[in-house]
Structure 1
Amino acid sequence: MPRDDAATHAFLRCTLNTADRVKSARFYREVLDLRQRGEFTDTDADVSALGISQPAHRTRSRLWDRRWSRRTPALELAQWHEPRAHTVVPTPATTTGLRAVGFRVESVATVRTAVARAGRDARMLPSGWPTGTGPTAWTLDPDGVTVELVQSRLTDTDGPVLSHLRLNCTDLARSIEWYEHLGFDVAAKETSTLLPGLPLGLVGQVEVASASLQLGEDDPFRLELLQWVDPPGSAPASSAGNAPGLAHIAFAVEDARMAHRYLEAAGLANGEPPRWNPAPGSTHETGWSVFLTDPDGVRVELAEHTPR
Protein backbone atom coordinates (compact mmCIF):
# COMPACT_ATOMS: atom_id res chain seq x y z
CA MET A 1 0.00 0.00 0.00
CA PRO A 2 1.31 3.50 -0.77
CA ARG A 3 1.90 6.04 1.98
CA ASP A 4 -0.99 8.45 2.51
CA ASP A 5 0.40 11.34 0.45
CA ALA A 6 1.06 9.01 -2.50
CA ALA A 7 -2.28 7.16 -2.43
CA THR A 8 -5.36 8.11 -4.39
CA HIS A 9 -8.04 9.55 -2.14
CA ALA A 10 -10.92 10.39 -4.51
CA PHE A 11 -12.25 9.91 -8.01
CA LEU A 12 -12.07 13.21 -9.89
CA ARG A 13 -13.44 12.68 -13.37
CA CYS A 14 -13.77 10.49 -16.41
CA THR A 15 -13.08 12.00 -19.83
CA LEU A 16 -15.42 11.10 -22.67
CA ASN A 17 -14.37 12.06 -26.20
CA THR A 18 -17.43 13.24 -28.09
CA ALA A 19 -18.13 14.23 -31.68
CA ASP A 20 -20.57 16.93 -30.56
CA ARG A 21 -20.32 18.39 -27.04
CA VAL A 22 -23.61 20.25 -27.29
CA LYS A 23 -25.54 17.14 -28.33
CA SER A 24 -23.82 14.98 -25.74
CA ALA A 25 -24.34 17.52 -22.94
CA ARG A 26 -28.03 17.77 -23.84
CA PHE A 27 -28.41 13.99 -23.49
CA TYR A 28 -26.81 13.91 -20.04
CA ARG A 29 -28.82 16.95 -18.94
CA GLU A 30 -32.20 15.69 -20.15
CA VAL A 31 -31.79 12.03 -19.19
CA LEU A 32 -29.60 12.19 -16.07
CA ASP A 33 -29.96 15.79 -14.90
CA LEU A 34 -26.23 16.58 -15.07
CA ARG A 35 -25.25 20.24 -14.98
CA GLN A 36 -22.34 21.90 -16.78
CA ARG A 37 -20.08 23.82 -14.37
CA GLY A 38 -17.10 24.66 -16.54
CA GLU A 39 -15.80 24.85 -20.12
CA PHE A 40 -12.15 25.02 -21.19
CA THR A 41 -10.46 25.35 -24.57
CA ASP A 42 -6.95 23.98 -25.13
CA THR A 43 -4.96 25.44 -28.03
CA ASP A 44 -1.58 23.95 -28.99
CA ALA A 45 -1.81 21.77 -25.89
CA ASP A 46 0.82 19.14 -25.13
CA VAL A 47 -1.14 15.86 -25.06
CA SER A 48 1.80 13.48 -25.40
CA ALA A 49 0.70 11.79 -22.17
CA LEU A 50 -2.37 10.66 -24.12
CA GLY A 51 -0.24 9.09 -26.83
CA ILE A 52 -0.64 11.97 -29.29
CA SER A 53 2.55 13.62 -30.53
CA GLN A 54 1.11 16.71 -32.21
CA PRO A 55 -0.29 19.74 -30.33
CA ALA A 56 -4.00 19.56 -29.70
CA HIS A 57 -6.92 21.91 -30.09
CA ARG A 58 -9.90 20.70 -28.09
CA THR A 59 -12.77 22.01 -25.99
CA ARG A 60 -13.81 20.38 -22.72
CA SER A 61 -16.95 20.67 -20.62
CA ARG A 62 -17.35 19.27 -17.11
CA LEU A 63 -20.69 17.99 -15.91
CA TRP A 64 -21.74 17.19 -12.34
CA ASP A 65 -24.81 15.65 -10.77
CA ARG A 66 -26.91 17.59 -8.24
CA ARG A 67 -24.44 16.96 -5.41
CA TRP A 68 -22.01 19.31 -7.19
CA SER A 69 -19.03 20.17 -5.01
CA ARG A 70 -15.31 19.52 -5.02
CA ARG A 71 -16.15 16.22 -3.30
CA THR A 72 -18.13 14.79 -6.18
CA PRO A 73 -16.87 13.30 -9.45
CA ALA A 74 -17.32 14.87 -12.86
CA LEU A 75 -17.96 13.63 -16.37
CA GLU A 76 -15.73 15.57 -18.75
CA LEU A 77 -16.86 15.88 -22.38
CA ALA A 78 -13.94 16.54 -24.74
CA GLN A 79 -14.44 17.53 -28.37
CA TRP A 80 -11.26 17.31 -30.43
CA HIS A 81 -10.86 19.82 -33.23
CA GLU A 82 -7.26 18.83 -34.04
CA PRO A 83 -6.20 16.10 -34.39
CA ARG A 84 -9.58 14.68 -35.29
CA ALA A 85 -10.49 11.07 -34.59
CA HIS A 86 -12.04 8.89 -37.27
CA THR A 87 -12.72 5.63 -35.49
CA VAL A 88 -16.01 4.53 -33.92
CA VAL A 89 -16.80 3.50 -30.36
CA PRO A 90 -16.60 -0.29 -29.99
CA THR A 91 -19.99 -1.73 -29.14
CA PRO A 92 -19.40 -5.37 -28.05
CA ALA A 93 -20.00 -5.84 -24.33
CA THR A 94 -16.77 -7.86 -24.14
CA THR A 95 -14.46 -5.08 -25.37
CA THR A 96 -11.48 -4.56 -23.05
CA GLY A 97 -11.02 -1.15 -21.44
CA LEU A 98 -13.38 1.49 -20.05
CA ARG A 99 -16.77 0.03 -20.92
CA ALA A 100 -19.50 2.04 -19.20
CA VAL A 101 -20.20 5.09 -17.09
CA GLY A 102 -22.63 4.23 -14.31
CA PHE A 103 -25.35 6.06 -12.39
CA ARG A 104 -27.45 5.21 -9.36
CA VAL A 105 -31.06 6.18 -9.97
CA GLU A 106 -34.16 6.08 -7.80
CA SER A 107 -36.18 4.36 -10.52
CA VAL A 108 -34.84 2.66 -13.64
CA ALA A 109 -38.34 2.80 -15.15
CA THR A 110 -38.46 6.60 -14.81
CA VAL A 111 -35.05 7.07 -16.41
CA ARG A 112 -35.95 4.64 -19.21
CA THR A 113 -38.88 6.94 -19.98
CA ALA A 114 -36.48 9.90 -20.19
CA VAL A 115 -34.21 7.84 -22.46
CA ALA A 116 -37.18 7.13 -24.74
CA ARG A 117 -38.03 10.85 -24.89
CA ALA A 118 -34.43 11.42 -26.04
CA GLY A 119 -35.07 9.03 -28.93
CA ARG A 120 -33.01 6.16 -27.53
CA ASP A 121 -33.63 2.76 -25.99
CA ALA A 122 -32.62 1.25 -22.63
CA ARG A 123 -32.60 -2.51 -22.20
CA MET A 124 -32.81 -4.32 -18.89
CA LEU A 125 -29.87 -6.50 -17.91
CA PRO A 126 -29.94 -9.93 -16.23
CA SER A 127 -31.07 -9.87 -12.61
CA GLY A 128 -28.20 -9.07 -10.25
CA TRP A 129 -25.87 -7.92 -13.02
CA PRO A 130 -23.16 -8.77 -12.43
CA THR A 131 -23.74 -9.28 -8.70
CA GLY A 132 -25.26 -7.51 -5.75
CA THR A 133 -27.11 -4.73 -7.56
CA GLY A 134 -30.72 -3.73 -8.02
CA PRO A 135 -32.53 -3.65 -11.38
CA THR A 136 -30.04 -2.48 -14.00
CA ALA A 137 -30.40 -1.19 -17.56
CA TRP A 138 -28.03 -0.18 -20.35
CA THR A 139 -28.49 2.60 -22.84
CA LEU A 140 -26.17 4.33 -25.30
CA ASP A 141 -25.35 8.03 -25.35
CA PRO A 142 -25.10 9.96 -28.69
CA ASP A 143 -21.50 8.75 -29.16
CA GLY A 144 -22.36 5.10 -28.57
CA VAL A 145 -20.96 5.04 -25.02
CA THR A 146 -22.69 2.59 -22.69
CA VAL A 147 -24.51 4.24 -19.79
CA GLU A 148 -25.35 1.88 -16.93
CA LEU A 149 -28.41 2.66 -14.79
CA VAL A 150 -28.62 0.92 -11.42
CA GLN A 151 -31.73 1.25 -9.29
CA SER A 152 -30.82 2.20 -5.74
CA ARG A 153 -32.37 4.16 -2.90
CA LEU A 154 -30.81 7.63 -3.00
CA THR A 155 -30.10 9.36 0.31
CA ASP A 156 -27.56 11.99 -0.73
CA THR A 157 -29.54 13.74 -3.49
CA ASP A 158 -32.90 13.77 -5.25
CA GLY A 159 -31.49 13.08 -8.71
CA PRO A 160 -29.30 10.51 -10.51
CA VAL A 161 -25.80 10.07 -9.06
CA LEU A 162 -22.60 9.44 -11.02
CA SER A 163 -21.66 6.33 -9.05
CA HIS A 164 -19.24 4.05 -10.91
CA LEU A 165 -17.19 3.18 -13.95
CA ARG A 166 -17.16 -0.29 -15.45
CA LEU A 167 -13.80 -1.46 -16.75
CA ASN A 168 -13.34 -4.71 -18.67
CA CYS A 169 -10.00 -6.36 -17.88
CA THR A 170 -8.27 -9.45 -19.22
CA ASP A 171 -6.99 -10.71 -15.85
CA LEU A 172 -9.05 -9.81 -12.80
CA ALA A 173 -6.43 -10.71 -10.20
CA ARG A 174 -3.75 -8.71 -12.02
CA SER A 175 -5.97 -5.63 -12.29
CA ILE A 176 -7.02 -5.84 -8.64
CA GLU A 177 -3.37 -5.92 -7.57
CA TRP A 178 -2.54 -2.95 -9.82
CA TYR A 179 -5.33 -0.76 -8.46
CA GLU A 180 -4.54 -1.80 -4.88
CA HIS A 181 -1.12 -0.21 -5.43
CA LEU A 182 -2.99 3.06 -6.05
CA GLY A 183 -4.84 2.73 -2.75
CA PHE A 184 -8.05 0.93 -3.75
CA ASP A 185 -9.71 -1.70 -1.56
CA VAL A 186 -11.79 -4.66 -2.73
CA ALA A 187 -15.37 -4.14 -1.56
CA ALA A 188 -16.79 -7.25 -3.28
CA LYS A 189 -15.51 -10.01 -5.53
CA GLU A 190 -17.01 -12.88 -7.52
CA THR A 191 -14.71 -15.34 -9.29
CA SER A 192 -17.48 -16.78 -11.48
CA THR A 193 -20.98 -15.60 -12.38
CA LEU A 194 -23.16 -17.19 -15.05
CA LEU A 195 -25.56 -14.91 -16.92
CA PRO A 196 -27.87 -15.18 -19.92
CA GLY A 197 -26.12 -13.64 -22.91
CA LEU A 198 -29.12 -12.35 -24.85
CA PRO A 199 -29.69 -9.12 -22.84
CA LEU A 200 -25.99 -8.39 -23.34
CA GLY A 201 -26.18 -8.90 -27.10
CA LEU A 202 -24.46 -12.29 -26.89
CA VAL A 203 -25.50 -15.84 -27.69
CA GLY A 204 -26.15 -18.47 -25.01
CA GLN A 205 -24.88 -18.35 -21.45
CA VAL A 206 -21.85 -16.24 -20.51
CA GLU A 207 -19.42 -16.42 -17.62
CA VAL A 208 -17.79 -13.40 -15.98
CA ALA A 209 -15.61 -12.66 -12.96
CA SER A 210 -15.95 -9.32 -11.22
CA ALA A 211 -14.70 -7.11 -8.42
CA SER A 212 -15.92 -3.84 -6.97
CA LEU A 213 -13.16 -1.47 -5.80
CA GLN A 214 -13.45 1.64 -3.66
CA LEU A 215 -11.23 4.29 -2.10
CA GLY A 216 -12.03 3.86 1.57
CA GLU A 217 -15.39 3.33 3.21
CA ASP A 218 -16.37 7.01 3.05
CA ASP A 219 -16.14 7.26 -0.76
CA PRO A 220 -19.23 5.71 -2.38
CA PHE A 221 -17.77 5.84 -5.90
CA ARG A 222 -16.83 2.40 -7.23
CA LEU A 223 -14.54 1.09 -9.94
CA GLU A 224 -16.24 -2.04 -11.25
CA LEU A 225 -13.79 -4.53 -12.80
CA LEU A 226 -15.17 -7.22 -15.08
CA GLN A 227 -13.31 -10.09 -16.70
CA TRP A 228 -15.06 -11.94 -19.51
CA VAL A 229 -14.27 -15.62 -19.03
CA ASP A 230 -16.54 -17.13 -21.68
CA PRO A 231 -16.57 -15.60 -24.21
CA PRO A 232 -13.16 -14.00 -23.58
CA GLY A 233 -12.69 -10.25 -23.81
CA SER A 234 -12.03 -8.63 -27.18
CA ALA A 235 -9.42 -5.98 -28.02
CA PRO A 236 -10.50 -2.33 -28.37
CA ALA A 237 -10.74 -0.79 -31.84
CA SER A 238 -8.32 2.02 -30.96
CA SER A 239 -6.08 3.09 -28.09
CA ALA A 240 -5.56 6.66 -29.30
CA GLY A 241 -6.16 9.32 -26.66
CA ASN A 242 -8.58 11.15 -28.95
CA ALA A 243 -10.56 8.06 -30.00
CA PRO A 244 -14.33 8.48 -29.50
CA GLY A 245 -15.74 7.20 -26.23
CA LEU A 246 -14.47 6.86 -22.67
CA ALA A 247 -10.84 8.00 -22.85
CA HIS A 248 -9.21 8.16 -19.43
CA ILE A 249 -9.90 8.44 -15.72
CA ALA A 250 -8.44 10.85 -13.17
CA PHE A 251 -7.97 10.23 -9.46
CA ALA A 252 -6.82 12.66 -6.79
CA VAL A 253 -3.53 12.33 -4.93
CA GLU A 254 -2.14 14.61 -2.25
CA ASP A 255 1.36 14.73 -3.79
CA ALA A 256 1.74 13.72 -7.46
CA ARG A 257 5.53 13.70 -7.37
CA MET A 258 5.59 11.51 -4.27
CA ALA A 259 3.07 9.21 -5.95
CA HIS A 260 5.36 8.94 -8.97
CA ARG A 261 8.34 7.99 -6.78
CA TYR A 262 6.26 5.31 -5.08
CA LEU A 263 5.01 3.95 -8.41
CA GLU A 264 8.54 3.89 -9.83
CA ALA A 265 9.72 1.85 -6.86
CA ALA A 266 6.75 -0.52 -7.32
CA GLY A 267 7.53 -0.91 -11.03
CA LEU A 268 4.23 0.66 -12.09
CA ALA A 269 5.43 3.95 -13.57
CA ASN A 270 5.20 3.81 -17.37
CA GLY A 271 8.10 6.15 -18.08
CA GLU A 272 6.04 9.35 -17.91
CA PRO A 273 7.52 11.80 -15.38
CA PRO A 274 5.26 14.10 -13.35
CA ARG A 275 4.10 16.99 -15.49
CA TRP A 276 2.82 20.48 -14.82
CA ASN A 277 -0.37 21.45 -16.60
CA PRO A 278 -2.37 24.46 -15.43
CA ALA A 279 -5.58 23.21 -13.80
CA PRO A 280 -8.37 25.13 -15.57
CA GLY A 281 -11.09 26.59 -13.41
CA SER A 282 -10.00 24.84 -10.23
CA THR A 283 -8.82 26.29 -6.93
CA HIS A 284 -7.99 22.82 -5.56
CA GLU A 285 -5.89 21.19 -8.30
CA THR A 286 -2.28 22.37 -8.48
CA GLY A 287 -1.53 21.31 -12.06
CA TRP A 288 0.92 18.53 -11.13
CA SER A 289 -0.14 15.13 -12.42
CA VAL A 290 1.17 11.70 -13.38
CA PHE A 291 -0.15 9.61 -16.27
CA LEU A 292 -0.06 5.80 -16.20
CA THR A 293 -1.55 2.93 -18.12
CA ASP A 294 -3.12 0.04 -16.26
CA PRO A 295 -2.43 -3.61 -17.26
CA ASP A 296 -4.96 -3.35 -20.11
CA GLY A 297 -3.75 -0.01 -21.44
CA VAL A 298 -6.39 2.17 -19.76
CA ARG A 299 -4.99 5.66 -19.21
CA VAL A 300 -5.05 6.74 -15.57
CA GLU A 301 -4.20 10.24 -14.39
CA LEU A 302 -3.18 10.97 -10.81
CA ALA A 303 -3.81 14.67 -10.32
CA GLU A 304 -2.59 16.63 -7.32
CA HIS A 305 -5.67 17.67 -5.38
CA THR A 306 -6.11 18.66 -1.76
CA PRO A 307 -7.81 15.94 0.34
CA ARG A 308 -11.41 16.23 1.38
Structure 2
Amino acid sequence: MIERIFHFNINCTNLERSLEFYKKLGFQVILDFGEGMESKEMAEAFGMDVADIRGVHLRLGDNPSATRIDLLEFKNPSPTGQPYPHLYHTGIARMCLKTTDIEADYQNLKSQGIEFISEPKLLPGTTVKIVCFKDPDGTFVELLQGDF
Protein backbone atom coordinates (compact mmCIF):
# COMPACT_ATOMS: atom_id res chain seq x y z
CA MET A 1 0.00 0.00 0.00
CA ILE A 2 1.34 3.44 -0.92
CA GLU A 3 1.78 5.40 2.30
CA ARG A 4 3.06 8.93 1.49
CA ILE A 5 5.34 10.97 -0.74
CA PHE A 6 8.91 10.23 0.36
CA HIS A 7 10.78 12.64 -1.90
CA PHE A 8 10.72 14.32 -5.22
CA ASN A 9 13.78 14.75 -7.38
CA ILE A 10 15.22 17.98 -8.77
CA ASN A 11 18.11 17.56 -11.19
CA CYS A 12 20.58 20.44 -11.28
CA THR A 13 23.66 21.40 -13.28
CA ASN A 14 25.69 22.54 -10.26
CA LEU A 15 24.88 20.89 -6.92
CA GLU A 16 26.69 23.41 -4.72
CA ARG A 17 24.95 26.38 -6.35
CA SER A 18 21.52 24.74 -6.08
CA LEU A 19 22.16 23.58 -2.53
CA GLU A 20 22.90 27.17 -1.44
CA PHE A 21 19.67 28.29 -3.12
CA TYR A 22 17.50 25.72 -1.32
CA LYS A 23 19.21 26.52 2.00
CA LYS A 24 17.98 30.10 1.55
CA LEU A 25 14.47 28.65 1.55
CA GLY A 26 15.13 26.91 4.88
CA PHE A 27 15.94 23.39 3.65
CA GLN A 28 18.52 21.39 5.61
CA VAL A 29 20.76 18.60 4.33
CA ILE A 30 19.78 15.37 6.08
CA LEU A 31 21.69 12.95 3.85
CA ASP A 32 24.73 13.60 1.65
CA PHE A 33 25.57 10.83 -0.82
CA GLY A 34 29.05 12.24 -1.38
CA GLU A 35 31.04 12.28 -4.60
CA GLY A 36 31.02 9.45 -7.08
CA MET A 37 27.74 7.75 -6.22
CA GLU A 38 27.97 5.34 -9.13
CA SER A 39 25.69 2.33 -9.16
CA LYS A 40 24.94 -0.24 -11.83
CA GLU A 41 21.67 -1.05 -10.04
CA MET A 42 20.61 2.61 -9.93
CA ALA A 43 21.48 3.03 -13.62
CA GLU A 44 19.38 -0.02 -14.48
CA ALA A 45 16.47 1.17 -12.30
CA PHE A 46 16.59 4.57 -14.08
CA GLY A 47 16.83 2.92 -17.54
CA MET A 48 20.36 4.20 -18.14
CA ASP A 49 23.66 2.57 -19.10
CA VAL A 50 25.58 4.40 -16.37
CA ALA A 51 24.63 6.64 -13.45
CA ASP A 52 27.41 8.59 -11.74
CA ILE A 53 25.58 11.02 -9.47
CA ARG A 54 26.33 13.54 -6.72
CA GLY A 55 23.31 14.09 -4.49
CA VAL A 56 21.78 15.19 -1.21
CA HIS A 57 18.44 14.79 0.51
CA LEU A 58 16.94 17.98 1.96
CA ARG A 59 13.92 18.64 4.16
CA LEU A 60 12.18 21.42 6.00
CA GLY A 61 12.04 21.10 9.79
CA ASP A 62 12.87 18.19 12.04
CA ASN A 63 10.03 15.75 11.27
CA PRO A 64 11.68 12.56 9.96
CA SER A 65 8.52 11.87 7.92
CA ALA A 66 8.63 15.22 6.11
CA THR A 67 8.76 15.01 2.32
CA ARG A 68 12.31 15.38 1.04
CA ILE A 69 13.92 16.94 -1.99
CA ASP A 70 16.36 14.58 -3.71
CA LEU A 71 18.72 17.14 -5.27
CA LEU A 72 20.96 15.48 -7.89
CA GLU A 73 23.77 16.50 -10.20
CA PHE A 74 24.44 13.88 -12.86
CA LYS A 75 28.18 13.64 -13.52
CA ASN A 76 27.83 10.86 -16.10
CA PRO A 77 25.79 11.16 -18.19
CA SER A 78 25.92 14.94 -18.11
CA PRO A 79 22.59 16.75 -17.68
CA THR A 80 20.78 17.80 -20.83
CA GLY A 81 17.69 19.79 -21.68
CA GLN A 82 16.04 22.80 -20.13
CA PRO A 83 13.42 23.16 -17.41
CA TYR A 84 9.88 23.96 -18.49
CA PRO A 85 9.78 27.41 -20.10
CA HIS A 86 6.49 28.38 -18.42
CA LEU A 87 4.03 27.23 -15.76
CA TYR A 88 1.44 25.86 -18.18
CA HIS A 89 3.76 23.19 -19.65
CA THR A 90 2.53 19.57 -19.50
CA GLY A 91 3.94 17.56 -16.60
CA ILE A 92 5.17 18.51 -13.16
CA ALA A 93 5.67 22.24 -13.44
CA ARG A 94 6.56 23.53 -9.98
CA MET A 95 7.17 22.81 -6.33
CA CYS A 96 4.93 24.65 -3.85
CA LEU A 97 6.17 25.50 -0.34
CA LYS A 98 3.66 26.54 2.32
CA THR A 99 4.59 29.51 4.48
CA THR A 100 3.06 31.39 7.40
CA ASP A 101 4.42 34.81 6.33
CA ILE A 102 4.73 35.16 2.58
CA GLU A 103 5.52 38.89 2.70
CA ALA A 104 8.48 38.39 5.08
CA ASP A 105 9.76 35.40 3.07
CA TYR A 106 9.38 37.38 -0.16
CA GLN A 107 11.37 40.33 1.23
CA ASN A 108 14.02 38.06 2.78
CA LEU A 109 14.57 36.01 -0.39
CA LYS A 110 14.48 39.09 -2.61
CA SER A 111 17.20 40.67 -0.43
CA GLN A 112 19.31 37.55 -1.06
CA GLY A 113 19.11 38.05 -4.82
CA ILE A 114 16.24 35.73 -5.72
CA GLU A 115 14.26 37.13 -8.65
CA PHE A 116 10.49 36.72 -8.49
CA ILE A 117 7.98 36.61 -11.33
CA SER A 118 5.77 39.08 -9.45
CA GLU A 119 5.01 40.36 -5.96
CA PRO A 120 2.84 38.09 -3.75
CA LYS A 121 -0.71 37.96 -5.11
CA LEU A 122 -3.99 37.33 -3.29
CA LEU A 123 -6.10 34.72 -5.09
CA PRO A 124 -9.61 36.10 -5.78
CA GLY A 125 -12.28 35.03 -3.31
CA THR A 126 -9.75 33.49 -0.89
CA THR A 127 -7.27 34.43 1.81
CA VAL A 128 -4.53 32.59 -0.09
CA LYS A 129 -1.45 34.47 -1.34
CA ILE A 130 1.08 33.02 -3.79
CA VAL A 131 4.32 34.09 -5.45
CA CYS A 132 6.61 32.22 -7.88
CA PHE A 133 10.31 32.28 -8.72
CA LYS A 134 12.91 29.94 -10.24
CA ASP A 135 15.84 28.01 -8.81
CA PRO A 136 19.32 28.43 -10.38
CA ASP A 137 18.52 25.95 -13.18
CA GLY A 138 15.10 27.44 -13.95
CA THR A 139 12.83 25.05 -12.02
CA PHE A 140 9.74 26.93 -10.83
CA VAL A 141 9.15 27.25 -7.06
CA GLU A 142 5.99 28.69 -5.48
CA LEU A 143 5.38 30.07 -2.00
CA LEU A 144 1.81 29.81 -0.67
CA GLN A 145 0.26 31.31 2.46
CA GLY A 146 -3.26 30.43 3.60
CA ASP A 147 -5.70 27.54 3.32
CA PHE A 148 -8.18 26.61 0.64
Gaps of 5+ in 2: none
**Structure 1 residues 237, 296: closer, same or farther in 2, change over 3 A?**
closer
> What does residue 101 of structure 2 align with?
255
Q: Is the 8 A contact 2:17 2:136 kept in 1?
A: yes
Structure 2 CA distance for aligned equivalents of residues 231 and 279 of structure 1: 47
Structure 1 CA distance for aligned equivalents of residues 114 and 125 of structure 2: 25
> What does residue 207 of structure 1 align with?
52
* Higher mean C-alpha deviation, range 270-279 or range 289-298: 270-279
Structure 2 CA distance for aligned equivalents of residues 208 and 161 of structure 1: 25
Deviation at 1:290, TM superposition (A): 1.7
> What does residue 89 of structure 2 align with?
243
Structure 1 residue corresponding to 2:36, chosen from 174, 192, 206: 192
> What does residue 71 of structure 2 align with?
225
Q: Is the 8 A contact 1:260 1:269 kept in 2?
A: no
TM normalised by structure 1 equals 0.43
- Which has the higher Rg, Structure 1 or Structure 2? 1
Deviation at 1:278, TM superposition (A): 3.6
Task: Output aligned runs, 1:267-286, within 5 Å.
Answer: 267-278=113-124, 286=127
Structure 1 CA distance for aligned equivalents of residues 117 and 94 of structure 2: 17
**1:148-178 Cα shifts (integer Å, max 9, x gaps):** xxxxxxxxxxx42122111111111111110
Deviation at 1:238, TM superposition (A): 4.2
Counterpart residue type for residue 188 of structure 1: L
> What does residue 266 of structure 1 align with?
112
* The structure with more strand, counted as a fraction of residues: 1
**Structure 1 residues 240, 193: closer, same or farther in 2, change over 3 A?**
same
Structure 2 CA distance for aligned equivalents of residues 269 and 179 of structure 1: 14
RMSD between superposed Cα atoms in Å: 2.0
Structure 1 CA distance for aligned equivalents of residues 86 and 117 of structure 2: 18
Structure 1 residue corresponding to 2:140, chosen from 268, 275, 299: 299
Matched, 1:162 2:8: no
Count of aligned residue pairs for this structure pair: 143
Structure 1 CA distance for aligned equivalents of residues 115 and 96 of structure 2: 15
> What does residue 23 of structure 2 align with?
180
